[in-house]
Amino acid sequence: MSQNSSTLKRSLGLWAIVGLGLGYMTPTTVFDTFGIVSGETNGVVPLAYLVALVAMVFTAISYGRMTRFFPSAGSAYTYTSETMHPNVGFLVGWASLLDYLLLPLVNAVIVRIYMESFFPDVPSWIWVVAYVVIITAMNLWSMNSTSKINGILVVFEIVLIGAFVVLAWNALAHGTGTGAVFSSAPLFHGGVDASAVISGATVVCFSFIGFDAITMYTEEAKDATTVPKAIVLALLIGGTIFFIAAWFGQSVFPTLDGFDNTDDTLPEMALKVGGELFKVLFTSAAFAATVASSLASHASVSRMIYVMGRNGRGPVSRFFSFVHPRFRTPSFAVLFVGAVSLLAIPFTLEFISSMINFGALIAFTFVNLTVVVFFVLRKKEIRTPKEILVNIVLPVVGMVLTGVLWANLQMDALMYGAIWLGIGAVCLLVITRGFRRTVNVSMNEEDAVELEHLAGPRV
């Protein structure tokens, strides 16, 4: 594929994309939500992460397989459009957009809350505007530079998580908590209920959102095999970090006795295992994690908007499909995400968070479904036990596990998500002139030609 000023620049290697995925996942989240999940599961936080990781692995496999055949930055939107119908793909992309578009906004709200606590006399809008401008400028300037800065921040937070594990190990060796580094208590003990563990897994599974966003960098990866590998690596590395951190956290703090604030336990956990200095350092790592998540989430959603714009018609679509000739970034899409992030000034964290999960589950469900449609209905790959396993069993299990998460979704998330989806349906009605035509879906020319050769016509 030739590189020119109208295409995104292929500058990202394997570990750069893995780093963006980890930055999106925000590893320090395990400490922020520890109190909530520990209370929900009756003290088996690592088990909740383990259950969530298993649920996510099946969907990650589906993402990895689809991105090999559809090397476009559109992710679930592209997969659904190409395998099922462009109009269905538009609605899936629209629903996913709710999740991706709100995460940069959530990070801006978190930073606003941090800064308000340190500088209560300064108007909060100043922090939001300054932060959004910086994050937007970084994403506008260079994807390669964004990934490097993200990588530094991710390494910093992982090092501090490692320091927490060392301090927790030392505390356990001196009789704190369970008094044993290796104990079955963090995974199972009396009073643990399976339904409560699943509810806890529903909370923590959204910490894994990030491995799917990696697919947004497909058109900026150095080669076609990079993204599928990065998806699996990011999920497994992130899951390992979550599990180990939760294990030591639960071992040192088997109950929530002694915590003043169980809604965000990170500062107190750091203080109790390492003292005041470590509390400051660990809080700094949490701030770094938020910045890394902002960079990664801002970059990924702008790529999705870019692809949807490239596939549309009219001045709005042309606006969002513009690629800066020098920076080779989707500059107008990046600026739009920055503008939306300014809504962090009036909105609360609770309100925004309640709407995020809906879009993620829509994307997870349809990506698993597209594997069945593409490989079974289109390519007829169901001749051997292996093909039946990978093309039917694994994606169906992924859909079932996603269904369990759907069953535990909050009513507010369902309501706000349904409203957003309804708005998307109205937009689709207008774009397609009453469904008399389909939404255009365009991949890069070389990729589209190769796809037709491999797969044949759409069902």
Burial (CB count within 10 angstroms: exposed 0-12, middle 13-18, buried 19+), residue 389: exposed
Could you give the C-alpha distances from 142 to 8, 244, 329, in angstroms and in order? 10, 34, 7
For the question of whether the overall pTM of this predicted structure is more than 0.75, the answer is yes
Instruction: Check if the beta carbon of residue 41 is closer than 8 Å to that of residue 196.
Output: yes
Helices 143-173 and 14-25 sit at what angle, rounded to 10 degrees? 60
Beta bridge partners of 221: 12
pLDDT tens over the chain, length 459 residues = 344 445 667 778 888 888 888 988 889 889 988 988 998 898 899 999 999 898 889 998 998 888 888 876 667 888 898 899 888 988 998 888 887 788 888 888 888 877 887 788 899 899 999 999 999 998 888 777 777 888 898 999 999 999 999 999 999 999 898 888 888 888 988 878 888 888 888 778 777 876 777 877 777 888 777 888 888 899 999 999 999 999 999 999 999 898 887 877 888 999 999 999 999 999 899 888 888 888 888 888 888 788 778 776 666 677 888 888 887 888 899 999 999 999 888 877 666 766 677 888 888 899 999 999 999 999 999 999 999 999 999 999 999 988 887 777 777 778 888 888 999 899 888 878 787 777 665 544 344 334 344 444 444
Burial (CB count within 10 angstroms: exposed 0-12, middle 13-18, buried 19+), residue 458: middle
| Alpha carbon distance, N-terminus to C-terminus of the chain | 28
Which CATH superfamily does the domain covering 14-435 fall into?
A: Amino acid/polyamine transporter I (1.20.1740.10)
**Phi, psi for 12 (deg, rounded to 5):** -100, 125
CB atoms within 10 A of CB 255: 12
pLDDT of residue 47: 94
**Phi, psi for 409 (deg, rounded to 5):** -75, 140
CB atoms within 10 A of CB 170: 14
Instruction: Check if the beta carbon of residue 242 is closer than 8 Å to that of residue 166.
Output: no
pLDDT of residue 453: 41
Beta bridge partners of 12: 221
Domain ranges (residues) in the chain: 14-435
CA nearest neighbour of 361 among 407, 426, 425, 395? 407
